[in-house]
Structure 1
């Protein structure tokens, strides 16, 4: 999805990279599908893993800080046909582990959503990357087709508005996993970070989980702004009819839309939010798409962007350094005069995003 998210509709047929899974530990039971498998790879000398429950920090009886369950999800499909994808996955995992520093009692739960042909490749990459990891960790493998089957009834109605091509396709549901994850994820899991695979980590992944603590009341999702004038283009008709609008304008005062390469999903808040769940209803989606004359092709990113124009209070805006997008496609396709206003990002980069196959700087 990193490549597709910065391309026009004609380029939206790129291979899918959306991420999600559902996970439950407790009392020896598992509520995920029979195709889901857990691969344990924890250090023998590590402290006991945190029991299931909220990913929020909890205080111990002595006033100290208990461990935190860190759930990180990524998609790895069609890898048997794409050496480039395998290379991206390897680079992302290596950089993640190189900078990862967890606290005593923390545990990193890596969820990999994959297809049958890519499963062995993905498991091999994870084993190699995690070998010698200095913290407790666990790998959970999920079958993409089973996740799609569960998701389709929830997001079917919105797909025609935010998918490439015409009509609604069953396979398109995978691009909307983040939108309805709170409805298919066990309630014991309250927070998850979803990431694209074309990333390079320059900071401790635990610091990104700390961003959940900065959510304002009512916010349910943490997401960075889109760093190209993608939605300046997509909202062209609404902007023409409303010349004073902030919709599609660049930061800091405009609403440039979102990029879902890095997503913080507060599942507990998503479940509680009456407003957010109302916005998932087909009638509300239809109403908003008509108001904004919106037709997209980037799945969950389009949905979050459109909702953010109407209800920005639902989103915690991540600093651009947490999703420093590198693609410059729109600079050469009609928007060179305003491009830098969207692309500018000050500060030390924590995560590079090599969308549209843009090379990521070497260390």
Structure 2
């Protein structure tokens, strides 16, 4: 979590200890009562740190970024020192050698990331976050050596709301966990140079390009996250989990050679509509057609990002270049507005080998908007999904079943 504590509470508590009960003075006239009060205040301060930092009073990602920048500016060429850790709830988690992360380590990290921004302005978003977190945490079952790392991308106000949610939901969790907050402003600053060129193809308008950069986070996640994180699952907030999140991580083992991302198909004729010009010029194309034989595009509500594979794939790196992207969007006559989802969809038309297609039950989308807007005759071919649903996705504010 971000340093500084909730609302500056740590600084205030420490100040009271220094001014009201100067423990280090050792004056006999304070008596045993004030010594006892000092101990209680210090214990309370440590408890606040232990709770709000969810077992990881560590250097944050944002502060680490600043430290690395300062280190580079100072001309240091070696690796940066490891971040400090004060009284962690769980031991520092490492990955098993089989996972391709840190050889010789005893523990295995699982990483999930959620965007949680502007929640202070939206009670509906807060309710979605509660549903998503409650269902994920209540059904998660991990082995003793496994650690769930929950990443939030937030600004200050939303971070405080997330902390309150976690205060309600984390008690009773039986597995090891860590919670990490990433400042949305810091990430946007890092993302903008990488994704600026693609935003003209996949954003709704040109007036908010800088702010829109955060909606392309998954595309450049391999450049943003520390090298120690090799795999991460990015999840939308409008989800309800129906099974153990650990089972979703097992899908990484099903990636074919060369695949870098696991993602489910779009379950509406969104891209049948968006690719209309290309489809008219190429009447035999499968682009935009429904499954199982068509290419309906992707939905970014649930994404498995193999960061190591993204870092190592020369093809994926090439596709991030403005010239390559321009060529693709011109070929497919594409202009979108859905951020990373559009990028992965266009890339998937040309390079399906980069993707592991998740079963629809891992992202059972519920939105039916396109059924009532010109595509009722073909809608069911896209919307059909058989099997036990493992994650419901209430996209376009569609209610999620209670049971």
What's the TM-score once normalised by structure 1's chain length? 0.85
1:29-82 per-position Cα deviation (integer Å, ceiling 9, x unaligned): 858212999999976xx7x45326879278999xxx964210000011111111
Equivalence map 1:1-363=2 (5 Å): 30=59, 32-34=61-63, 48-51=91-94, 56=99, 67-166=107-206, 169-363=209-403
Is the 2:101–2:228 Cα contact (8 Å) retained in structure 1? no
Q: 1 CA distance for matches of 2:111 and 2:278?
A: 38
Cα separation, 2, equivalents of 1:296 and 1:187:
31
- Distance (whole Å) between structure 1 residues aligned to residue 289 and residue 84 of structure 2: 45
User: Does the 8 Å contact 1:42/1:137 carry over to 2?
Assistant: no
Relative to 1, partners in 2 of residues 1:225 and 1:39: Cα closer, same or farther, differing over 3 Å? Answer: farther
Structure 1: distance between partners of 2:385 and 2:85 = 38
2:172 and 2:109 mapped to 1: Cα distance? 20
The structure with the larger Rg is 2
Change (3 A) 1:76 1:221: same
Higher relative contact order (CA 8 A, sep 6+): 1
**5+ residue gaps in structure 1?**
1-27
For residues 215 and 38 of structure 1, do their structure 2 counterparts lie closer, same or farther at Cα, with a shift above 3 Å needed?
farther
Greater share of helix:
2
- Deviation of 1:131 after TM superposition, in Å, equals 1.2
Query: Aligned residues, how many?
Result: 330
Shift of 1:132: 1.3
For residue 123 of structure 1, report the CA deviation from its aligned partner: 1.0
1:180 counterpart SS class: helix
Alignment RMSD: 2.6
Distance in 1 between residues matched to 2:333 and 2:341, nearest whole Å: 16
**Using the alignment, how far apart are the partners of 2:165 and 2:88 within structure 1?**
16
**TM-superposed deviation, 1:235:** 0.2
C-alpha contact (below 8 Å) 2:201/2:336 kept by paired residues: yes
TM-aligned CA distance change 1:350 to 1:271, over 3 Å? same
